[in-house]
Structure 1
Amino acid sequence: MAVSQVVDDTFVDVLIVGAGLSGIGAACWLQRECPDKRYVILEARDAMGGTWDLFRYPGIRSDSDMYTLGYAFKPWLGENAIADGPSIRDYIEETAREHDVPAHIRYGHKVAAASWSSKDACWTVEVEQPATGARLSMQARFLYMCSGYYSYTQPHRPEFAGEADFDGTVVLPQFWPADLDYTGKRVVVVGSGATAMTIVPNMAKSAGHVTMLQRSPTYVAALPSQDTFSRLLRRWLPERLAYRLTRLKNIMSSITLFWLVRSQPKLASKQMIQGVSDQLGPDYDVKTHFTPRYNPWDQRVCVVPDGDLFTALKAGRATVVTDEIERFTADGLLLKSGQALPADVVVLATGLTVQLFGGMQLTVDGKSYQPSELMAYKGMMLSDVPNLALAFGYTNASWTLKADLTARYVCRLLRYMDRKGYTVAVPRRQADVQPVPFLNFSSGYVQRAGKLLPQQGARRPWQVHQNYLRDTVATRYSRLADGVLRFGTKGVMP
């Protein structure tokens, strides 16, 4: 277990929940822009890194380029733009050390409940220590939730008929066994998302054969693992400048491409499917296995670096089957079409279970709230909940782009409150703003979480933009005192 230096945790200015990519970034921004603020990070697990420490399945990697998944203030110097999980974890840890963040992390501390008191203008947070069973309380002026959007302990795990009859091994990517030996074995990976498309080509390197079993196809794009533009810039420019220029190029490219795809979905769909056909050849059944029933970016597009999935398929080391499971059998799976898939190992890459706030209970002056009852303000604060921010990244771009903007906004807000003598900031919900879903996305995990996520509003500042430029204006240059975000002092709720 990692060890932190002991500091006074009785009362802090900012309490950050989660020591993953967002939490470490939030701490670094605080130290850069609000160096006088006392803060602590509570992390339920025994290591920093969040997703990039939790997931250990073969080939775990980013599906965003590291020039945008990386922090704005910390250049990514790795060779690959699409990086593997251990490299990303090392990058997070290095960033934390450079800013002395580890001294502020409390590992093995799980937040169970948070209660706001207007009388005291602070949060009281109830914390569990699972290793010892102990409970403790902390107080903070500002609560910053960086615990992600899914449960670390409960992945989405559908039950299938006949599982008890299966003589092989069933594996969940979220809990990958370190001692799993699949050399020469028959593997079936159930799923068609980013996790499945990462696992399949990597397991295929040593497995006897790997089958990706999907209910329906997903849009897939092959991208180079290295960024030629970045490599060229780094030959002639200082590293930090080269990083910033590459980051800007990738941000603008992704915004432009997303706009083009959304404005011309039929053309974009045709071109993306043709791109797969070009990779696999004219004899491959692209219509069945790589032609989705939805428009591009109704769900996240899967990236395969250097076309590794297609390479495995062409080499015969992997196969895609589009069908549904009827039941498990002793030696594999029986599909609804009647086809039998022999398997020694079945990997259920069936998705995540959405969970906000790490599952904690949220109370404001004695009134309990569920996330679904609240409306997101600028995609980072919640209606009628004082002194709380939420890190939630983009669905169509890098998570960190939005997390960085949120962290800088929080710092700007804290400095403003100090200058004006305020101790409370709360966005007040407007009765005439019509609610709409928080995410306009048809992915399974989003649809399953419809009643778990906050709402967004039909107009600013309640809209959740999936656009970095619009969010930059909204968070860095717009007025803080906009009439919706209200300010007050201890004992008086604005």
Structure 2
Amino acid sequence: MSEHFDVLIVGAGISGIGTAWHLQKHCPDRSYAILEGRACKGGTWDLFRYPGIRSDSDMFTLGYSFRPWTGAKAIADGPSILQYLEDTAAENGIEPHIRYGHRVTRAEWSTPDALWTVTVEAGGETRTFTCSFLSMCSGYYRYDRGYLPEWEGTADYKGRIIHPQFWPEDLDYAGKRVVVIGSGATAVTIVPEMAKRAAHVTMLQRSPTYVASLPSEDAIANWLRKRLPAKTAYAITRWKNVLISQFFFSRMRKNPEKAKERLVGMVREHLGPDYDVATHFTPKYNPWDQRLCAVPDADMFEAIKSGAVSVETDTIERFTGKGLKLASGKELEADIIVTATGLDLQIMGGVPLIVDGKETDVPHALTYKGMMLSDVPNMAFTFGYTNASWTLKADLTSEYVCRLLNAMKSRGMRQVTPRPKGPVEEIPFVDFSSGYIQRAVAHLPKQGARKPWRLNQRYTRDLMALRFGGIDDEMEFSNPVAKAKAA
């Protein structure tokens, strides 16, 4: 027998917990449940356990708009972020609404019933739930596997190969030689942390990434917190950081050569004139064609200067019994090889969406305001910013869902569906050259070249559109005729 809720939220990570809070605040009369496939809440912040795991966004924007971040560090470690999420769920009565071990495998919409039927695997059994609105908060990558290129000779290697997404609790790397393959946010986090105990750590990259040092603490935020109420200080700091990040993003996109010169110049200032910054820290692409990597208090550069870390820019020819042979002919010996090679991107958890018997062709669907799909009723998904923190967009998406739910109630409507009125030029969903994005392009929906199908990458624009803008622009409110009940 199915259980029914007004709203079903899929995922108990940062997006799902935030959506639940907004529902309780703005739609207190709606019933809801959170379906979480894993045994714990927290999403990314519970799954990833590699050394040094931390945010690459400041916590005044990665934190929720409604709950101040009170930690000392603006760039926070993973366990602190997980505790913040757990406290948010506990303090706001969200915890009892979470169904753990409930993995969603299918969602089917019936227009006559104005209902989603959601199929779930739980405890070795198949269960079903129904809901009037479905909120997909399952993140943007697969939890059951990461991206791992195929290399020749991996079976010959005598050491341990570790992927950061599945870090073993028993891994002892003290005094060991470590090679970390990759140069993205995960690699620049792991490398300086492992270097504290390892004999030596080498970061092996095919090509460089822009890496910038940021202070781990926000001096202005700490000053404000001593003089103002917590919520006021938090709100001011949040807006400060939003506006500063938008300003620098805009400047870098308009003047990429100057931005590149400055970013590379700052690395040179840290590492000195004798370090080969041109080879190891000068990317071929422009700033923000891929996400910038932030390192708190220059920890990566300090580890390099100390001699504990070295960087190799080369490609792998093959694995050997002792380590890696590179295309240049150089060999790297390693006791442990960490493959920080990226994520396997997957939108909405890969759940098939069936609308009136027909499966939605997600790669050919258009995204409405970056949070709904064309011709898919009563469903929203959360996808954060690529140039700012995830939660900024997640908060706004949750607010907009609540606006739609309340509008449907006040108008006496059971269904709301984004539908294009006229032609819409299609463009890629995310304008990023990062490998994990490019590998998934064929599986992602499209965005449009015009509003409301355009995906903004600017918080201030989305704030006006989602919190204050109209809700009828190419949005169809309807009242399906219910099926006649059998006599």
Q: Does 1:70 align with 2:63?
A: yes
Check the 8 A contact 1:162/1:327 in 2, yes or no.
yes
Q: Does 1:155 align with 2:150?
A: no
Task: For 2:377, give the aligned amino acid.
Answer: P
Distance in structure 2 (CA, Å) of the matches to 1:468 and 1:113: 32
Partner of 1:206: 197
Distance in structure 2 (CA, Å) of the matches to 1:479 and 1:392: 21
Q: Does 1:16 align with 2:9?
A: yes
Partner of 2:485: none
Check the 8 A contact 2:2/2:127 in 1, yes or no.
no
- 1:113 is matched with which residue: 106, 122, 136? 106
Gaps of 5+ in 2: 483-487
Q: CA deviation at 1:97?
A: 0.7
Q: Does 1:134 align with 2:125?
A: yes
Q: Deviations over 1:54-92 (max 9, x none)?
A: 000000000000000000000000000000000000000
Task: For 2:153, give the aligned amino acid.
Answer: G
Check the 8 A contact 1:52/1:88 in 2, yes or no.
yes
Q: Secondary structure at the residue paired with 2:392?
A: helix
Question: Aligned residues: percent identity?
Answer: 58
Distance in structure 1 (CA, Å) of the matches to 2:478 and 2:98: 30
Gaps of 5+ in 1: 1-7
Distance in structure 1 (CA, Å) of the matches to 2:257 and 2:360: 42
Partner of 1:414: 405
- 1:489 is matched with which residue: 467, 479, 485? 479
- 1:216 is matched with which residue: 203, 207, 214? 207
Distance in structure 2 (CA, Å) of the matches to 1:9 and 1:144: 18
Distance in structure 1 (CA, Å) of the matches to 2:465 and 2:169: 45
Q: Does 1:28 align with 2:21?
A: yes
Distance in structure 2 (CA, Å) of the matches to 1:60 and 1:9: 39
Task: For 1:28, give the aligned amino acid.
Answer: W
Matches within 5 A, 1:32-47: 32-47=25-40
Task: For 1:66, give the aligned amino acid.
Answer: M
- 1:99 is matched with which residue: 92, 99, 109? 92
Q: Secondary structure at the residue paired with 1:180?
A: coil
Distance in structure 2 (CA, Å) of the matches to 1:491 and 1:345: 62
Distance in structure 1 (CA, Å) of the matches to 2:162 and 2:421: 47
Q: Secondary structure at the residue paired with 1:277?
A: helix
Distance in structure 2 (CA, Å) of the matches to 1:236 and 1:102: 33
Q: CA deviation at 1:159?
A: 1.6
Q: CA deviation at 1:430?
A: 3.8
Matches within 5 A, 1:453-468: 453-468=444-459
Q: CA deviation at 1:128?
A: 0.6
Give TM-score, length-normalised by structure 2. 0.98
Give TM-score, length-normalised by structure 1. 0.97
Partner of 1:359: 350
Q: Deviations over 1:163-193 (max 9, x none)?
A: 1111100000000000100000000000010
Distance in structure 1 (CA, Å) of the matches to 2:457 and 2:422: 24
| Equivalent residues, number | 483
Distance in structure 1 (CA, Å) of the matches to 2:348 and 2:220: 39
Q: Does 1:338 align with 2:344?
A: no
Q: CA RMSD in A?
A: 1.1
Q: CA deviation at 1:481?
A: 1.4
Distance in structure 1 (CA, Å) of the matches to 2:151 and 2:368: 40
Q: CA deviation at 1:133?
A: 1.6
Q: Secondary structure at the residue paired with 1:314?
A: helix
Q: Does 1:248 align with 2:226?
A: no
Distance in structure 2 (CA, Å) of the matches to 1:149 and 1:287: 33
- 1:276 is matched with which residue: 248, 267, 271? 267
